[in-house]
A and B are shown apart, each in its own frame.
Chain A
C-alpha cells in the first residue's frame, strides 16, 4: 500500500484530503506541520500533501516545518492552496494578495499536458477558496493551468516531483478532483 501523509497547515479541507486519499486505498494520516522531516522519513512515506490553511502566505513567510520538507524530500509533494503558495515562495517565486480572490466554483483551463492531469479535460470546474495567490512563478517551475482571474492555478517543478495547486482537488464539487489525486498517487508509487 502506498503511504502518503497529509501535512496539516490548518485548512478547512485538510481532513477532506485525508479522506480522498483513504478512499482511493492509500495508507494515509494527518500530521501536524510541526512534525520534523526525520519523523516522516522514518515512517517510509512515498509522498506528502501540504494542505491549505488560514495563514496568509503573502503576509507571513512561515508555514510550520514546510521548509524542511521541501529542502529534504526526494518523494513527490503536492502543495494545495497555502501549501502551493508556500512552495512557490520557497523556490524563489512570489505570493501576494489576489486582485480578485476566488471562492467556490471556477473554470480551470489546462495549459500543458502533464501526468498530474491525465484524464482531465482542458476545461473543467474546480472549487476555490483563496485571498492570496502565486503572482511570480519560480524559475525552476513550469505553469500548468490558469483561471480567468488567477494566472497561476497549477505548477510543477521542472526536475523534482513537486506540484502546486491553487484550487482544491480534494472537495466533492471539483469535477476531476479524485482523478488528480489518483494521478498523484501513481507518481508516488514509482
Chain B
C-alpha cells in the first residue's frame, strides 16, 4: 500500500540532495502543486520561490484565492498576470492540441524569464502519473498533451524537478492530508484552465460565459453535497459548446450557444463514471445558468459519458 509518510520522508531527502541553489515552483494552487511546494519547502526552505500565473482562463476569483493561500503557507511568491498575453496567443486557435501546446510553451517561457531574472536553476512541477501517461511517448499514444509534459517545448532553460511523477491524485491527496494542507480535497482543475472548457476558439468573451457557468455548477453541486443529496463528484464543471440552437426568450426568437454540464466519479482520472446527479440538482443548475447568461446560452445538457470512451475534460 502507498505510505504517505514514508513518501514524504524519502522525497524531502531526495529533493534536498538534488536541488542545490534556488528553485521555482509552478504554483496553480491545486492539490499537486501545493503538495510539491510543501515538500520542496521542507527540503530547501526559502530557496524556493513560488510563481502563480493568472492566465485569464482561471475560475471566478481563483487567482485572488491562490495569492491568499501562498501568503498563508508562508511561501516566497511571485504573482504573474499574463491574461492579455494568453488571450492574444490563443486568438484564432481552435484545435485542442494546438491550444494545449501554446499554453504549455507560454507557461514555461514565463517561468524561464523569472528564473533568469532571479538566478534560479530548477523548475518544480506538480506533474502526476496521468499527465505523462496521457501525453504519450515512444510507446504510448497521445491522448492529450498535458501542458506540463506534452505541451513543453523541446528547448528548456531550466532543470525540471517532478517529485510526484509516479503518484495518482488519490495518493497526492493522502500526502496532502498528512501535510495538513487546506487543498487536500480540492477538485482537479487543468493547467490550461477554462481555455479547454471552451470548444474551439477560447475568446475573452466566451471565457466570461464559461467562467460564470463553471461557477454556478460548482456552487450548486457543492450545495447539494452539503445537504447530503449527492456524494461529492471527483470533478464537476461546465463546457461551452459553440453550437447555436433556437430558443424562445421573452416572446422573441433566441439563437445562442450550448452549455454541457459534466460531473464524474473517479479516484485517479484513468477511468471515470459520469455522476448520477438527481434532477432537482440539475434543475437548479439549469435555471441558474439560463438566468445568469441570458441570450448567450439557450440550451443546457448533461454529459452521460464514461471514460473510456470519453475523457474527463472535453479537450
Contacts and interface: CB of A to CB of B under 8 A. Distances in A.
B260 to A, nearest CB: 18
Contacts of B129: 15
A23 B1 contact: yes
Interface of B: 1-2, 129, 133-134, 139-141, 143, 166, 168, 266-268, 270-273, 306-309
Contact of B306 (A12, A23, A104): A104
Nearest to A64: B139
Contacts of A83: none
Contact of A32 (B1, B134, B139, B267): B139
15 contacts: A10-B141, A12-B143, A15-B133, A25-B1, A54-B139, A103-B308, A104-B307, A105-B306, A127-B308, A128-B308, A129-B309, A171-B270, A171-B271, A172-B266, A172-B270
Nearest to B267: A172
Contacts of B134: 12
Interface of A: 8-16, 19, 22-23, 25, 32-33, 53-54, 103-105, 127-129, 171-173
Given A103-B309, A104-B308, A173-B273, A16 B268 contact: yes
Nearest to A23: B1
Contact of A54 (B2, B141, B168, B271): B141
Contact of A173 (B139, B140, B271): B271
Nearest to A171: B271
B140 to A, nearest CB: 5
B2 A23 contact: yes
A173 B273 CA distance: 8
Nearest to B309: A103
Please name the 5 residue pairs, one residue from A and one from B, whose CB atoms are nearest each other, closest first: A10-B139, A103-B309, A104-B306, A54-B141, A103-B308
A19 B1 contact: no
Contact of A12 (B140, B266, B272): B140
Contacts of A105: 273, 306
A150 B4 CA distance: 40
A183 B2 CA distance: 20
A8 B139 CA distance: 8
Given A23-B2, A103-B308, A173-B271, 20 more contacts: A11-B140, A12-B134, A12-B140, A12-B141, A13-B270, A15-B133, A15-B166, A16-B270, A19-B168, A23-B1, A32-B139, A53-B140, A54-B140, A103-B309, A104-B309, A105-B273, A127-B308, A129-B308, A172-B268, A173-B272
B270 A12 contact: yes
A138 B29 CA distance: 53
Contacts of A10: 139-141
A64 B273 CA distance: 33
